[in-house]
């Protein structure tokens, strides 16, 4: 009872601390177990992946289906066997798949974590236990055997003929209209014809797209299922179609059950569906015949028979039409084997045609089927995997999750040369050897149930379609029509994301997104294009949906409604053109401005609270020392500072502490003055805290910069913001000095907003506006430091929690940071050029990624870093000696002066000129301060320092960005900031010590000498970057063109357009290619 009472007596802050300690202990034990005591601890791989599954979550969810590609990188680093999460081992030893998938006498179980992504949990696909899976599968197998599928050929023929008849009808009424072939191929779904007797009317890709997230957050599916269907169907995209299909199947099950003992049951059994067989099966116990389970079994059969087959047929059609030699060979074979296009050709005969078989095999390889990795657990069997690359053997204990990825097998260049190309010929001479690597259907007892049906669909559709329809390279007498490619390239057909099925590329910025595949149909004798390309898909996709009763195309379910009819993202004003990035002004003046104001204001809340915070902690910890306890961390820090002050040759009074405090807190001219009557210990401890924080920032800045170069500015910024949130959360709970110090350490290591905002400004601004964009960021910083401390001081007077009087200010700061992070997560685009590549057209008309050009530097980064360090060493040291004088004489802050100067003057100066003006102004300020005797001199010095504060750091940031290529800019700016923070951290301590040891005049003369050397380096060593010089005025030829046409500008150059809207194009003379943005842009704000 005493323990329980003492627990209740804990404050909420102490309770949080106890919970944190318990969690930390659990996390430590878990980390030790996973890294060193796990049965697969010996398997190579990244330690972070072995430690937590959030490593996979980042690539799967945050980046969107990119973990498969990351695993490929890990194999290059660690070998063909790698640990990819705490429980799973992945191998790319392609011959191992026969061992992995097992067989009837070598049972394999599925991994429970993998089955979470299947919305249809009780289906055979998601069954974990081997024997239970065999029970469920045994009832389904007869329906999908090779013989059953061949018996179903009349039904399949009927569907294919209906499909081609719909094509012919559109040819007669809407000649030349582009269509998305995913629509008719999605409508051609035979499973639901034989099973359910009706067509599916809603998209099934929604479930697949949700799968990866549900796999990591299974509670989301439970939450959705707990909602009323009227709510979830309305508010969750695509869910209404899923519910409609589920309820339709349930209705059929109830109808069949209700007629079990009637004549209607016997009539239905004469043409049975899978549902009839499942309900009447004597192999299944009654619990396996529950309507809810059977409905989910039906849903997974429909999805499996729709998405993968329609995608494969779309790819086959595209590549055949796109490559005339392949189409010609296929049609030669079809015309020889099928003289009469209307005759029925048995499936067995079609499967025996060599080239058609090669086309089908190559289509299966290229379409991949299920791109997600296939995992198995051998409960009673130990695996031995031979790593042929590293010449090692890895022993995998029984019960371990082992996986392989079909994508890595079918795209392995050592097995399939030129894997990104479509080459049916590879299967003609070496097909028997390659067949074992065609793992798209899986293997073992859990291989794809509908393999025979999928192959039958492909043979029938391709044979009938290309027996009657030709392409640009092969038009024959009697052809119904001609197929032509519309706004689609081979790259659009390659996998860009893995959502268990492959999601292809879409030309766009900032993130991988799917792109639809389209075919423009131009009929024989009528090859005119659509009259209005701007209406090419918006109207006709609806027409196709009505004509074919089609499913929504899978890639429309991801909210990408257009194939290639996109709108230009620029102005029609000839003076503006379409240079650079549409929306650059919005990002520059919107997101970054809000980032700096909101983020810096929340950061500055704590500045005026330091004295009261320290006094609070001192008074709270004093009783423990008086009672004979060990000195606390705060008391140890005070003891060390007192020993340091005692080492001075002259007496120390409060003035030393004031000057030490003033500079250590930050820039004088963007800072609200503190109460100068504070006791010396307050100021000493505060100076030590902030100096330490700056040194931590010096350590973290290069790391954050490199993170942003590799993974993107957005990712790095959101990671930094999470660290800031943790820092402020610790402050909210800090009822002792140690917790407060921990919050400052976390904050110091996470502070990356300034450098990342600078890097983003460099990304989105062109070279002529780089300096002005940097100045805007500096102005935001100054404004935030002007008003933030005052707001923080006011909030500290509103104490709502007795245990922590500063919880109100801390909580308000936390709310601002959470708001900022949420805003950035939803609205901040990726600005790193490497992740937001513009696509240009090659001389052959194909899209290609612009090649990186050698980067020429005008200035050394070493010189820039040295200038930054020594400038801030002397400048921040000088600031530290002025805080009490400026507050005592001026009684106001000049932070607003600096922000106005940055926003109004600096932004109009070239960066090198800005730096030169700043260092000269700083040199003048040192000269004045060393000899000042009245208020006029202080005003003059303050004006010079305001100029310095507004120009030098901003200009150096701009210069450093000019001297860095796009893929290293974040790291270079991080190193620059690191040197600057070291100067800011060391300068106040060194300068104030000299100030008190040798006197004011000596200290300022020493500082002036240092700044003079810095000025000499700036004036003599630094050069104007090539990109920052304003280009000479040149006449810019213009041409108004229609996207998808070719225009010839005044100098004879050709401009190729894409899309379906009219746009104004401009071209600088001398450019060999115009990279304009005629594409659909994602709104950023």
Known binding-site positions for heme: 448
* Neighbouring residues of 373: CB distance < 8 A, sequence distance ≥ 6: 68, 71, 90, 403, 404, 405
Tokens 């392949």 found at: 326
C-alpha distances in Å from residue 199, one per residue of 143, 144, 306, 412, 550: 19, 19, 11, 38, 8
List the structure tokens of 664.
């250590």
Q: What are phi and psi of 529, to 5 degrees?
A: -80, 170
Q: Name the CA dihedral angle for 1004, 1010, 1016, 1021, rounded to a multiple of 10 degrees.
A: -150
- Residues β-bridged to residue 521: 483
* Neighbouring residues of 835: CB distance < 8 A, sequence distance ≥ 6: 510, 511, 712
Give 609: exposed, middle or buried? Use CB within 10 Å, 0-12, 13-18, 19+. Answer: buried
Question: How many C-beta atoms lie closer than 10 Å to residue 61's C-beta?
Answer: 17
CB 336 within 8 A of CB 356: no
C-alpha distances in Å from residue 99, one per residue of 311, 575, 668, 774, 849: 29, 66, 70, 59, 40
Nearest to 562 by CA among 604, 517, 525, 596: 517
Give 378: exposed, middle or buried? Use CB within 10 Å, 0-12, 13-18, 19+. Answer: buried
Instruction: State the Cα–Cα distance between residues 597 and 301, nearest whole angstrom.
Output: 54
Instruction: State the Cα–Cα distance between residues 408 and 95, nearest whole angstrom.
Output: 12
Instruction: State the Cα–Cα distance between residues 198 and 201, nearest whole angstrom.
Output: 9
Annotated binding site: 448
Instruction: State the Cα–Cα distance between residues 453 and 153, nearest whole angstrom.
Output: 10
- Taking each helix axis from N to C terminus, what angle separates 205-216 and 239-258, rounded to the nearest 10 degrees? 100
Q: What are phi and psi of 30, to 5 degrees?
A: -65, -40
Instruction: State the Cα–Cα distance between residues 1044 and 520, nearest whole angstrom.
Output: 13
DSSP assignment string, 584-650: HHHIIIIIHHHHHHHHHHHHHTTGGGHHHHHHHHHHHHHHHHHTT-PPPHHHHHHHHHHHHHHTSSS
Nearest to 493 by CA among 313, 739, 284, 685: 313
Instruction: State the Cα–Cα distance between residues 617 and 13, nearest whole angstrom.
Output: 14
CB 389 within 8 A of CB 82: no
E-strand spans in 178-301?
Answer: 178-179
Residue 408, Cα to own-chain centre: how many angstroms?
A: 22
Give 1014: exposed, middle or buried? Use CB within 10 Å, 0-12, 13-18, 19+. Answer: buried
Tokens 């701009």 found at: 958
E-strand spans in 142-184?
Answer: 178-179
DSSP 8-state secondary structure symbol assigned to residue 33? I
* Alpha carbons within 13 A on the beta-carbon side of 166: 21
DSSP assignment string, 918-960: HHHHHHHHHHHHHH--SHHHHHHHHHHHHHHHHHHHHHHHHHH
Strands 481-485 and 469-471: parallel
């Amino acid at each position: 009872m005493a323990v329980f009472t003492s627990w209740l007596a804990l404050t909420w802050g102490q309770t949080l601390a106890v919970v944190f300690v318990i969690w930390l202990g659990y996390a430590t034990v878990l980390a030790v177990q996973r890294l060193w005591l796990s049965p697969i601890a010996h398997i190579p791989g990244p330690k972070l992946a072995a430690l937590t599954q959030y490593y996979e979550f980042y690539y799967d969810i945050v980046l969107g289906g990119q973990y498969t590609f990351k695993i490929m990188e890990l194999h290059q680093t660690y070998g063909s066997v790698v640990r990819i999460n705490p429980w799973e081992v992945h191998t790319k030893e392609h011959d191992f798949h026969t061992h992995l998938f097992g067989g009837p006498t070598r049972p394999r179980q599925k991994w429970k974590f993998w089955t979470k992504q299947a919305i249809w949990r009780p289906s055979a696909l998601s069954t974990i236990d081997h024997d239970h899976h065999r029970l469920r599968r045994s009832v389904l197998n007869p329906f999908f055997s090779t013989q059953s599928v061949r018996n179903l050929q009349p039904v399949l023929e009927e569907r294919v003929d209906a499909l081609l008849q719909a094509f012919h009808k559109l040819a007669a009424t809407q000649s030349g209209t582009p269509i998305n072939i995913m629509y008719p191929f999605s409508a051609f779904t035979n499973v639901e014809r034989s099973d359910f007797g009706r067509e599916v009317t809603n998209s099934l890709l929604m479930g697949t797209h949700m799968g990866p997230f549900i796999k990591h957050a299974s509670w989301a599916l439970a939450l959705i299922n707990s909602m009323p269907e009227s709510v979830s169907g309305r508010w969750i995209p695509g869910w209404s179609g899923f519910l409609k299909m589920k309820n339709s199947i349930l209705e059929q099950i109830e109808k069949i059950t209700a007629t079990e003992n009637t004549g209607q049951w016997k009539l239905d059994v004469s043409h049975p569906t899978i549902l009839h067989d499942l309900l009447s099966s004597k192999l299944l116990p009654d619990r396996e015949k529950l309507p809810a389970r059977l409905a989910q079994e039906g849903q997974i059969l429909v999805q499996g028979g729709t998405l993968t087959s329609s995608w494969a047929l779309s790819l086959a059609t595209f590549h055949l039409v796109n490559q005339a030699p392949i189409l010609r060979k296929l049609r030669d074979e079809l015309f020889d084997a099928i003289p009469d296009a209307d005759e029925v050709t048995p499936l067995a005969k079609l499967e025996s045609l060599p080239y058609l078989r090669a086309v089908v095999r190559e289509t299966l390889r290229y379409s991949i089927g299920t791109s997600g990795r296939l995992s198995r657990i051998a409960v009673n069997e130990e695996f031995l995997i031979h790593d042929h690359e590293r010449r090692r053997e890895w022993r995998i204990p029984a019960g371990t999750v082992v996986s392989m990825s079909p994508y890595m097998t079918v795209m392995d260049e050592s097995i399939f040369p030129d894997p990104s190309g479509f080459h049916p010929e590879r299967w003609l001479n070496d097909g028997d050897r390659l067949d074992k690597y065609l793992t798209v259907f899986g293997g073992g007892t859990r291989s794809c149930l509908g393999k025979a049906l999928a192959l039958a669909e492909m043979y029938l559709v391709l044979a009938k379609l290309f027996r009657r329809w030709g392409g640009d390279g092969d038009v024959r007498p009697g052809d119904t029509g001609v197929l032509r490619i519309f706004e689609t390239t081979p790259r659009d057909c390659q996998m860009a994301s893995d959502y268990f099925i492959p999601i292809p590329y879409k030309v766009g910025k900032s993130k991988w997104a799917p792109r639809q595949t389209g075919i423009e149909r131009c009929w024989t004798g009528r090859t005119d294009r659509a009259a209005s390309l701007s209406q090419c898909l918006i109207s006709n996709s609806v027409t196709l949906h009505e004509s074919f009763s089609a499913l929504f195309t899978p890639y429309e379910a991801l909210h990408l409604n257009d194939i290639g009819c996109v709108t230009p993202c620029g102005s029609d004003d000839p003076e503006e053109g379409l240079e650079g990035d549409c929306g650059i002004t919005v990002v520059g003046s919107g997101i970054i401005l809000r980032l700096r104001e909101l983020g810096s204001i929340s950061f500055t809340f704590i500045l005026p609270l330091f004295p009261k915070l320290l006094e609070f902690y001192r008074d709270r910890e004093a009783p423990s020392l008086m009672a004979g306890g060990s000195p606390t961390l705060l008391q140890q820090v005070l003891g060390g500072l007192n020993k340091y002050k005692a080492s001075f040759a002259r007496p120390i009074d409060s003035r030393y502490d004031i000057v030490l405090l003033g500079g250590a807190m930050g820039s004088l001219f963007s800072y609200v003055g503190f109460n100068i009557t504070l006791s010396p210990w307050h100021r000493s401890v505060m100076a030590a805290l902030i100096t330490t924080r700056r040194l931590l920032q010096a350590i973290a800045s290069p790391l954050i910069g490199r993170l942003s170069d590799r993974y993107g500015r957005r990712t790095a910024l959101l990671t930094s913001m999470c660290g800031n949130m943790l820092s402020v959360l610790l402050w909210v709970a800090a009822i002792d000095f140690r917790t407060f110090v921990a919050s400052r350490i976390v904050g110091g290591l996470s502070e990356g907003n300034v450098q990342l905002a600078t890097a983003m400004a460099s990304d989105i601004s062109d070279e002529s506006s780089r300096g002005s964009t940097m100045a805007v960021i500096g102005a935001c910083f100054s404004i935030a430091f002007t008003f933030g401390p005052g707001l923080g001081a006011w909030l500290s007077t509103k104490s709502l929690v007795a245990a922590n009087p500063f919880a109100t200010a801390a909580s308000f700061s936390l709310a601002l940071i959470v708001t900022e992070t949420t805003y950035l997560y939803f609205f901040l685009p990726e600005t790193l050029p490497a992740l937001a590549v513009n696509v240009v057209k090659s001389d052959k008309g194909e899209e290609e990624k612009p090649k990186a050009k050698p980067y020429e530097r005008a200035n050394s980064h070493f010189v820039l870093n040295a200038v930054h360090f020594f400038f801030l060493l002397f400048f921040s040291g000088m600031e530290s000696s002025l805080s009490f004088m400026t507050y005592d004489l001026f009684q106001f802050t000049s932070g607003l002066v600096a922000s106005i100067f940055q926003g109004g003057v600096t932004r109009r100066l070239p960066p090198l000129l800005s730096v030169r003006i700043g260092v000269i102004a700083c040199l003048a300020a040192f000269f004045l301060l060393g000899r000042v005797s009245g208020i006029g001199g202080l005003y003059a010095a303050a004006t010079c320092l305001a100029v310095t504060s507004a120009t030098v750091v901003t200009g150096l940031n701009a210069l450093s960005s000019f001297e860095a290529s796009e893929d290293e800019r974040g790291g270079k700016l991080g190193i620059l900031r690191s040197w600057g923070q070291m100067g800011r951290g060391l300068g106040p301590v060194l300068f104030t010590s000299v100030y008190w040891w040798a006197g004011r005049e000596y200290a300022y003369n020493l500082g002036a000498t240092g700044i003079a050397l810095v000025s000499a380096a700036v004036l003599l060593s630094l050069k104007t970057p090539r990109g920052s010089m304003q280009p000479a005025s040149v006449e810019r030829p213009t041409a108004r063109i229609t996207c998808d046409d070719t225009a010839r500008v005044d100098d004879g150059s050709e401009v190729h357009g894409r899309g379906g809207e009219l746009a104004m194009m401009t071209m600088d003379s001398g450019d060999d290619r115009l990279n304009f943005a005629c594409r659909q842009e994602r709104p950023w704000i």
